[in-house]
Amino acid sequence: MALIKSQIIEEISNKSGFTRKKSTEAVETLLEIVKSTLSSGEDVLISGFGKFCVKEKNERRGRNPATGEAMMLAPRKVVTFKCSQKLRDRVNGE
């Protein structure tokens, strides 16, 4: 099961002693900063956690899976995540 935003807010509230409202504001503010930074094309680096990067995808050939018809897919931007070595070690139990 995935960790959801409301659970993150609850954990922050429990561990920090902040009210639920303050915890919600903190999480929402953090997410807005990350979203606005990524939408402007900049990367987000969180030391000890990882790096969110914006990558450019070129136009490419694809096909409609329902009809099998060939089509061109427009260029686009995607967000990727590369975890830090510290996070990788912790996930692997090292």
All structural domains of the chain, each given as residue ranges with its CATH number in brackets, are 19-60+68-91 (4.10.520.10)
Q: Backbone phi, then psi, for 4, in 5-degree steps?
A: -105, 165
Mean pLDDT, 10 residues at a time, the chain of 94 residues: 93 94 96 97 96 96 92 95 96 90
Residues whose CB falls within 8 Å of the CB of residue 11, separated by 6 or more in sequence, listed in order? none
pLDDT at 9: 95
- The residues pairing with 50 across neighbouring beta strands, listed in sequence order, are 46, 83
pLDDT at 1: 80
> What is the model's pTM?
0.80
pLDDT at 82: 97
